[in-house]
Amino acid sequence: MSRTDDVYVVGCGMHPFGRDESVTGMDMAERAIREALADAGVAWEDIGYAAGGSDVSGKPDTLVGRLGLTGVPFVNVQNGCATGASTVLAVANALRAGEASLGLAVGFDKHERGAFHVSAARYGLGDWYAETGMMLTTQFFALKTRRYLYEHGISERALAMVAARAFRNGSDHPLAWRRKPLTEQEILDSAEVSPPLTQYMFCSPGQGRRRWCWRAATAPSTCVNNRSGWRRWPSGPGGSVRPRCSRPGCRQDRTTAPASTPRRRPSARQGWHPRTCRSPSCRTPTAARS
């Protein structure tokens, strides 16, 4: 199977991460969507296909009650930590299939403090599994991580290096959940959760999320479009959509974001024209205009 139709991210919006009891998950989603629409310069009525994901903070398709009963097909996605990525993919594939020319993907959540606790029955498992203390995502991550380190000869310190980089990136982002940089040693010395993982190697549950952080909860929203002439984000290898934002805070990894990332490539090569993001959250003009 080959995919030939390019799909582009043409606008994005994000609600700040953190804990704010004055807003609901649905409030965050609405704000992120309105920001994304404004960023793309389109109206809600222009959206021909939508998908949304949330684990515990609302039924995304009911956002039409706030945004307008346009008759847009709105699909709910619930796929654990992969909900955000699955949602973006659902919209991108719908556009490739010709369902619409402009789509919207949104994800949001609010979680209580501490590790998740869920009903074993909901996962098709017996109650004994949770009652005996084995049904924790933190354990699962620790077990898989330890084996991975063992098989590939990676030091436990490498985990702290990865976490330190994430905190460093967060300190650059005005909407990030954690904005204080931490040293590798501070991360290694933080509370033991499930060794080899310590407290600051996890994304602590909150509301909103950093888009690219695994197991986060977030309220980003993305407009996806398959027409040329928009701000064009080249699709990635194999035709997969590569959502990227031109805002500085959207950088996934500044240590590996060299001049070769699409947003910095000469536009002539990609047919892509960066422009200043209009979201309130990104006042700083980003890549040099070309």
Partner 1 sequence: MSAHVLPVSGRVWSWTLQAFPPKPPYRPPSGGHRPYHVGYVDLGDVLVEALLAVPSAEIGIGLPVRLTTVPAYQDEDGTEVVTFAFRPDLDGER
Residues forming the site for partner 1 (CB under 8 A) = 114-115, 117, 119-120, 127-128, 130-134, 136, 139, 142-144, 146-147, 150, 191-197
Beta bridge partners of 30: none
> Residue 80 contacts by C-beta under 8 Å, 6 or more apart in sequence?
55
Euclidean distance between CA atoms 290 and 277, whole angstroms: 15
Cβ distance 96 to 202 under 8 Å? no
* Nearest distance, CB of residue 159 and partner 1, angstroms: 13
Closest CB to partner 1 among residues 129, 214: 129
Closest CB to partner 1 among residues 142, 166: 142
**What six digits make up the tokens of 204?**
């602590």
* Nearest distance, CB of residue 196 and partner 1, angstroms: 8
**What six digits make up the tokens of 194?**
């499930």
Closest CB to partner 1 among residues 45, 192: 192
* Nearest distance, CB of residue 186 and partner 1, angstroms: 18
Euclidean distance between CA atoms 61 and 50, whole angstroms: 8
Q: Quick one: which H or E segment has residue 139?
A: helix 137-152
Beta bridge partners of 76: 52
Q: How far separated are the first and last CA of the chain, in Å rounded? A: 35
* Nearest distance, CB of residue 143 and partner 1, angstroms: 4
Whole-Å CA distances, 172 to 39, 176, 222, 251:
21, 8, 21, 9
> Residue 121 contacts by C-beta under 8 Å, 6 or more apart in sequence?
127
Calculate the CA 85 to chain-centre distance.
7
* Nearest distance, CB of residue 98 and partner 1, angstroms: 42
Whole-Å CA distances, 204 to 143, 208, 212, 216:
18, 11, 14, 8
Closest CB to partner 1 among residues 75, 130: 130
* Nearest distance, CB of residue 265 and partner 1, angstroms: 41
Closest CB to partner 1 among residues 102, 193: 193
Euclidean distance between CA atoms 277 and 248, whole angstroms: 10
Closest CB to partner 1 among residues 132, 255: 132
Closest CB to partner 1 among residues 146, 168: 146
Closest CB to partner 1 among residues 134, 161: 134
* Nearest distance, CB of residue 24 and partner 1, angstroms: 23
Euclidean distance between CA atoms 84 and 238, whole angstroms: 20
* Nearest distance, CB of residue 194 and partner 1, angstroms: 4
